[in-house]
Structure 1
Amino acid sequence: MAGARQERCAASFALAADLAQCRAGFGALLARADLPLEAASEIARRYAEPHRGYHDAAHVGLLWLRHLLHGGDAGDRDLALAILFHDAVYDPLARDNEERSAALLARLVPGDTAWAQAAIRATADHLGHAGQDARVLWLLDLDLTPLAEREEVFARNAAALRREYAAVPEAGWRAGRCRVLEGFAQAPTLFRTRLGAIYEAPARANIAAEIASLRAVSGAA
């Protein structure tokens, strides 16, 4: 059992390093979501927007692949919709991306999407979410797994996030990034599902290392 878990862990971290595979995961996620043609075209267009560095098709594709790799239900369309739409509207400087993403889901996809909309709204505050729905917590944990990437992938993601905030001056970026990471560092726990056994420790190591780096640069400035 331990050996199998170690193999899944290794495969999971290898996934994030392979952007082509993550983009293929986006295709698999899109297929599972089973959207109307117009909706599928719209969502694909949005994730290809040029201002996206990190919050792109590869990001949501990775989350779906990790869901499957860690034994998630491949037939869970509601979760697929939540993953697919949770960053569908993305303006780095806006505070209502999640609300607008949920509204986009409601507009584009017919039928009952209430659970997926609520799950998307929960991603507005991962650590502050107080609900106990196990599937919502699973989504929140999946979305935090990139905090635990191997050093080179974590650095790649940080650089991609910086590109998204290109309009923010460097000092402001460093201060804001540090505040976000310190919020994670101060949380009693980052992950609230069984994913924590895999991702909690490396996530905390990455967070601590980047905070130290940001403080060092700020102190030298």
Structure 2
Amino acid sequence: MQASDAQIFSAAWEHAWRELGLAPATDALPQLLAVHSGSDRHYHGLQHIAECLQWLEQLRAQVAHPAELALALCFHDAIYDPQAKDNERRSADWAQAVLQAAGAKRDAVQRVHALIMATCHFQATQAQPAEDSDWMLDIDLAILGAAPERFAQYQAQIQAEYAWVPAADYAQRRPAVLRIFLQRPAIYHTAAMQTRLEAQARHNLQQALATA
């Protein structure tokens, strides 16, 4: 039987805290599952987080602090309002509060906070170690290199989250966002993800622009 997105999330959450030797507040997991399951979470919800956590499992041996990265992934879209500009900061602050309450070391708290802030994507990141920030960014953008069917679903999910934007404006703005990724010398930061996903991501983006 295939695990549900909530089961994948919960298992990764519990594994991460065991690795850190800490216990979070008992209400933290239910609260996160609740926000990620909101009816407005067409893309930025449990499916996306579960996909990210599954990528982390594949890449775990190459990550410096996998437990911290897992928690950063669990929290990175905890606050998501398409009309807001501070989603990453508020999500990072939530993670920081939970980690501090659980007695996490200061450097671990700072790393998780920085990893979440790195998902602004279009801003410079100061996450340490830099290698884990690269994994964070690449995992978050793995959807761009997904199979065409999943990429098409993702495109529709993003459009649903931006239903409040007039159709003509969305039709102009969305292609502009996709072009930003195509204009990068490489979409992915790590050699491993470039090898696995770069070609498919570029194909997906080019197809999306061709049909926009």
TM-score, normalized by the shorter chain, greater than 0.5:
yes
RMSD: 2.1
Aligned 8 A contact 1:98 1:124 in 2: yes
Q: Per-residue displacement from partner, 1:41-61 (whole Å, max 9, x unpaired)?
A: 211111011111001011111
1:30 aligns with 2:50: no
1:106 aligns with 2:96: yes
1:154 aligns with 2:151: yes
d(CA) in 2 for partners of 1:145, 1:99: 22
d(CA) in 2 for partners of 1:56, 1:47: 4
Aligned 8 A contact 1:26 1:58 in 2: no
Q: For 1:70, what is the secondary structure of its paired residue?
A: helix
1:68 aligns with 2:57: yes
Question: What does residue range 24-173 of structure 1 map to in structure 2 within 5 Å?
Answer: 24-34=7-17, 35-72=24-61, 76-109=66-99, 110=101, 111-112=104-105, 113-125=109-121, 128-129=124-125, 133-173=130-170
d(CA) in 1 for partners of 2:85, 2:124: 15
d(CA) in 1 for partners of 2:117, 2:48: 18
Q: 2:194 aligns with which of 196, 205, 210?
A: 196
When normalised by structure 2's length, the TM-score is: 0.85
Q: Per-residue displacement from partner, 1:83-138 (whole Å, max 9, x unpaired)?
A: 11111100011111101111111223322311000110011025754767101101
Aligned 8 A contact 1:27 1:61 in 2: no
Q: Give me the identity figure in percent.
A: 31
Aligned 8 A contact 1:126 1:140 in 2: no
d(CA) in 1 for partners of 2:124, 2:110: 21
d(CA) in 1 for partners of 2:159, 2:83: 12
- Of residues 154-163 and 25-34 in structure 1, the stretch that sits farther from structure 2 once superposed is 25-34
d(CA) in 2 for partners of 1:124, 1:100: 12
Structure 1 residue 70: Cα displacement? 3.2
Distance of aligned partners of 1:71 and 1:107 in 2 relative to their CA distance in 1, 3 Å threshold: closer
**Structure 1 spans left out of the alignment, 5+ residues:** 1-17, 215-221
Aligned 8 A contact 2:10 2:29 in 1: no
d(CA) in 2 for partners of 1:203, 1:127: 21
**Structure 2 spans left out of the alignment, 5+ residues:** 18-23
- Report the counterpart of residue 20 of structure 2 in structure 1: none
d(CA) in 1 for partners of 2:201, 2:44: 18
